[in-house]
A and B are shown apart, each in its own frame.
Chain A
């Protein structure tokens, strides 16, 4: 099957390309939802990162693996490093208050009309996990797909 050039990338199936283009933002939003929800309910950084990576994997199948690196813009290794630093920072923040490593620290914000937001270091840790899982999974998938 010979692909045809559409825009910058060569595609092999119009159906797959259209679906992938529509699904990518949906999956990314869903992955962020999973990340957010994961603190108290099923979900979290790990599953969120996997879903986000799956979205880009679909994109890589429809277009070319190279296109994904272009779409993400940031080097995946930078994301890995940033994720590790986030997770480490989540532990260190507790240490700054002279409590054991990884002790949760929370800040809360009382908004108008009874809106209350609480955000804490466990969420930061989850963000780190999300970034590491996303970037590691995706770089494994992409390097396998580019290999030939």
Chain B
């Protein structure tokens, strides 16, 4: 089962090699590309293995769980890893011409590789303290990436980003200490058993809420999402695309994992009363922000918030008493939605980077005319934007309908109303971005110096096109995607197989 360590090992070795090759930027580029391709390959292999329903387990150092740290890959981890691999390749290719030479020579490539290592580790680990460690690995790398370059605006964004994420880490660590103190274990499968037999559900529920707050800062849940639109538009497009695709989704993953595996002792409170209204509000808050922002990248940052809301509504509805089928449908919709939104958000941020290069700005009030000057880019942008709005047959449609349908089946009409309102806001925002940036005549003509060098443009348009093709394919193959998501949801809602795979016959 040593396959499971490769998603961490490949980026780690690539990061170390690019540190050794510090002097040569072109060698670093090559190593980074090879690292990303290798990561995509091993992640794809793990995804393929998990699709059989098998749960892969690797106990580090040959220590049996729950004593040692274990890496576990179930269907959920496989799905998240697959998306991570695709995003890694797309962003690395883009960064060859999308990142200025200053940032390249100050460690952009080693840092992105370390970020990818942290993300892979977080998706794979079966130990909740180890999850914290991987969070820190990816956060430290993201702190540096966020402030690399040291522009004034960037540092403003980085201060907000760092502060709130440190608060979240502190809460997470506190909750971990209390959890270990009360239940005496940190292995997630073991925790799941102990919570089920714990004598003090009130205390466990309090802990669950502490974890919920910590993870909801990371995943940008209402009302703690403010750091995201305040910071994601400040770094270069390659960095913000990587963040947009991966970072909040690690928070969403942590919520899905802990609130299906461990904290299921009082779903009426934690899922239905706390998480569901917050997630529904997140959809509205993200949608409204998306609709009114003037800067395209800030609008996309709110789009991330809105889609996190849709995914977490799906998770929260698993706690509502009702038919098993409806709860599975809700979670399956959430998983399929998370997978496609990772690709869509990366594509949108990369696209915004190209727009900024071409027009010298992302301000919707001054830019325009891109449909005439860059028709291919406009077509790709249309795909990403419509997929976010959830227009059929693109990838955002089917999962959103699944979550909507589940909310009606579970008699949560107000949730359905929030999802629909969010879609209307998204569509209005998309229409506005389209008419402002692509149709109207620009008010501001970019200077010659600001304009794009066409020689480099290919490395930027290829990943955007590739991701757009993935989005179309996910939309057209919605049935297959949904079957995979549904199988993953079933596996999550019945954690007994996960526990058996990790702990063997018994603890």
Using a CB–CB cutoff of 8 Å, the interface residues on chain A facing chain B are 75, 77-78, 80-85, 88, 91-92, 94-95, 99-104
Contact = CB atoms under 8 A, between A and B. Distances in A.
Contact of A78 (B1, B5, B9, B22): B22
Contacts of B17: 81, 85
B19 A81 contact: yes
B9 A88 contact: yes
A99 B62 contact: yes
A139 to B, nearest CB: 11
Contacts of B19: 77-78, 80-81, 84
B170 interface: no
Contacts of A91: 5, 9
A84 B61 contact: no
B60 interface: yes
Nearest to A98: B2
B13 interface: yes
Interface string B33-77: 000000000000000000000000011111000000000000000
B20 A92 contact: no
16 contacts: A78-B20, A81-B19, A81-B20, A81-B22, A82-B20, A84-B12, A84-B13, A84-B15, A84-B16, A84-B19, A85-B13, A88-B12, A91-B5, A100-B58, A102-B61, A104-B61
A88 B11 CA distance: 11
A94 B2 CA distance: 10
Contacts of A100: 1-2, 58-62
Contacts of A80: 16, 19
Nearest to A86: B16
Closest 5 CB pairs of A and B: A81-B19, A84-B16, A81-B20, A101-B5, A102-B61
Contacts of B13: 84-85, 88
Nearest to B22: A77
Contacts of A83: 16
Given A77-B22, A92-B9, A103 B16 contact: no
A102 B2 contact: no
A77 to B, nearest CB: 5
A101 B12 CA distance: 14
Nearest to B21: A81
A101 B18 CA distance: 23
A99 B1 CA distance: 9
A78 B16 CA distance: 9
A85 B19 CA distance: 10
Contacts of A92: 9
Nearest to B59: A100
A80 B12 CA distance: 12
**Best-surrounded residue of A78, A81, A91 (most CB of chain B within 10 A):** A81
Given A83-B16, A84-B19, A88-B16, 8 more contacts: A77-B19, A81-B17, A81-B22, A84-B15, A88-B12, A91-B5, A94-B61, A103-B61
A92 B2 CA distance: 10
Nearest to B18: A81
Contacts of B5: 91, 95, 101
A43 B164 CA distance: 33
A78 B18 CA distance: 9
Contact of A85 (B16, B22, B60, B61): B16
B133 to A, nearest CB: 14
**Best-surrounded residue of B1, B9, B12, B61 (most CB of chain A within 10 A):** B61
Interface in B423-439: none
Contacts of B16: 80-85, 88
A128 to B, nearest CB: 9
A99 B59 CA distance: 10
Contacts of A104: 61
**Best-surrounded residue of A81, A100, A104 (most CB of chain B within 10 A):** A100
A138 B450 CA distance: 39
A15 to B, nearest CB: 37
Nearest to B4: A101
Contacts of A88: 9, 12-13, 16
Contacts of B1: 100
A78 B21 CA distance: 8
Contacts of B58: 100-101
A102 B60 contact: yes
B231 to A, nearest CB: 23
B1 to A, nearest CB: 7
B20 A101 contact: no
B8 to A, nearest CB: 9
